[in-house]
Amino acid sequence: MYILGMESSCDETSAAVVEMEEGIRKIRSNIVASQIDVHRLYGGVVPEIASRAHIEAISRITYEALETAGITVDQLGAVAVTAFPGLIGALLIGVNFAKSMAYSRGIPLVAVNHIHGHVAAAYLSHPNLKPPFLALVVSGGHTSIYRVESETEFVEIGATRDDAAGEAFDKVGRVIGLPYPGGAALDQLAYEGDPKAIVLPSPALAGDTLDFSFSGIKTATLNYLNSMEQKGMPVNRADVAAAYTDRIVKAITQKAGQALEQSGMKTLVLAGGVAANSHLRASLEQLCRTRGVCLAMPERVLCGDNGAMIAAAGYFQYRIGHFADTALNASASDDGI
Q: Which residue is nearest to ligand KG4 (CB)?
A: 273
By the rule CB under 6 A, 252 interacts with ligand KG4: no
C-alpha–C-alpha distance, residues 323 and 78, integer Å: 10
Q: How many residues bind ligand KG4 (CB under 6 A)?
A: 19
By the rule CB under 6 A, 181 interacts with ligand KG4: yes
C-alpha–C-alpha distance, residues 270 and 36, integer Å: 24
What DSSP string runs through 265-277? -SEEEEESGGGG-
Would you give the distance in Å from CA 337 to the centre of its chain?
Answer: 20
Residue placing its CB nearer to ligand KG4 in the complex, 44 or 216: 44
Sheet holding 109-113, edge to edge: 24-34, 12-21, 2-7, 76-84, 109-113
Residue placing its CB nearer to ligand KG4 in the complex, 198 or 275: 275
Tell me the backbone φ, ψ of residue 227, rounded to 5 degrees. -70, -35
The entry of ligand KG4, Zn ion, none near residue 317 (CB within 5 to 8 angstroms by kind) is: none
Helix, strand, coil tally for the chain in percent (to 5): 45, 20, 30
CB of 302 to Zn ion, least distance (A): 11
CB of 90 to Zn ion, least distance (A): 12
Q: How many CA atoms lie within 13 A of 105 on its CB side?
A: 17
Residue placing its CB nearer to ligand KG4 in the complex, 84 or 169: 169
By the rule CB under 6 A, 169 interacts with ligand KG4: yes
By the rule CB under 5 A, 139 interacts with Zn ion: yes
Scored b (16 or more CB within 10 A) or e, 200-210 reads beebbbeeeeb
Q: Which span sits near ligand KG4 by CB under 6 A: 49-57, 91-99, 151-159, 176-184?
A: 176-184
By the rule CB under 6 A, 276 interacts with ligand KG4: yes
| Interaction residues for Zn ion, span 266-305 (CB under 5 A) | 305
By the rule CB under 6 A, 283 interacts with ligand KG4: no
> Mapping DSSP to helix (H, G, I), strand (E, B) and coil, where does residue 36 land?
helix
Q: Write out the residues near ligand KG4 by the rule CB under 6 A.
A: 10, 139-141, 166, 169-170, 181-184, 187, 272-274, 276-277, 304-305
Q: Write out the residues near Zn ion by the rule CB under 5 A.
A: 139, 305
